[in-house]
């Protein structure tokens, strides 16, 4: 049995982030609300559990999430503040988001009205456009990876989790991906056919397929 992470309120991570309270935990890791001790701003810290961090593939995926999201300059992508390894535990520091993810909203409401869907889909499409320009294919776009944040009188949709993103060069060749041909990563209900077949050479169109499925789910209330 791996020892638990040394996470508790008041602990200072990497001499920069003071933990305040846990926000969520899963089989792979945990997310904490924290305060940047130098900038005095709230942020969120995402950690990998020790047993997951022992996997080179998981660590690479975690680092790819940080690098990938940090390359995209967009109000519709969660802002990455820092990433590194603290006492053997990889972490990502990001902006603290207040609101709910699209999956939670759909679970509560069942479906959304047309103007709301247009706003969310348009914003996510802009994020995907920036990702494509940066040479990134998300590959796991789904309601749980779209976070809805209130900002005065409007709502901003932010794309999360570039952990299984594929990084491509301007000529379309793959620069970074741990996925072998025939391996399937992502969420089956939202995958394009070519991604579900495990094809290695997929591009931004697989994310557009996923966005179409999300739009359908939002409008109709069920998956296609």
Nearest-5° Cα angle at 77, 129 to 33: 170
Active-site residue (options: 15, 82, 113, 140):
140
Cα separation of 170 and 148, whole Å? 31
Q: Are 13 and 33 in contact (CB under 8 A)?
A: no
Q: How far is CA 154 from the centre of its chain?
A: 22
Nearest Cα residue to 13 out of 97, 113, 79, 87: 87
Nearest Cα residue to 195 out of 184, 211, 179, 209: 184
* Residues facing residue 159 across a β-bridge: 77, 146
Q: Are 69 and 77 in contact (CB under 8 A)?
A: yes
CB atoms within 10 A of CB 98: 9
Whether 140 is catalytic is yes
Residues catalogued as catalytic: 140
């Amino acid at each position: 049995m791996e020892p638990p992470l040394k996470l508790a309120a008041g602990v200072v991570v990497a001499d920069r982030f003071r933990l305040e309270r846990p926000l969520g935990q899963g089989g792979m890791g945990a997310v904490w609300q924290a305060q940047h001790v130098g900038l005095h701003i709230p942020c969120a810290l995402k950690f990998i559990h020790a047993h997951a961090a022992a996997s080179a593939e998981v660590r690479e995926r975690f680092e790819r999430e940080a690098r990938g999201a940090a390359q995209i300059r967009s109000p519709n992508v969660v802002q990455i503040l820092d990433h590194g390894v603290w006492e053997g535990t990889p972490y990502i520091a990001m902006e603290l988001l207040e609101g709910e993810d699209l999956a939670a909203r759909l679970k509560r409401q069942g479906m959304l009205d047309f103007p709301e869907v247009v706003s969310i889909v348009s914003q996510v499409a802009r994020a995907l456009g920036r990702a494509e320009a940066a040479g990134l294919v998300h590959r796991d776009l789904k309601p749980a990876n779209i976070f809805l944040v209130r900002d005065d009188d409007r709502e901003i949709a932010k794309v999360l989790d570039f952990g299984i993103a594929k990084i491509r060069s301007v000529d379309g060749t793959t620069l970074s991906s741990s996925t072998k041909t025939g391996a399937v990563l992502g969420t089956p209900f939202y995958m394009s056919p070519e991604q579900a077949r495990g094809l290695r050479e997929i591009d931004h169109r697989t994310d557009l397929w996923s966005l179409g499925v999300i739009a359908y789910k939002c409008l109709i209330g069920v998956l296609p």
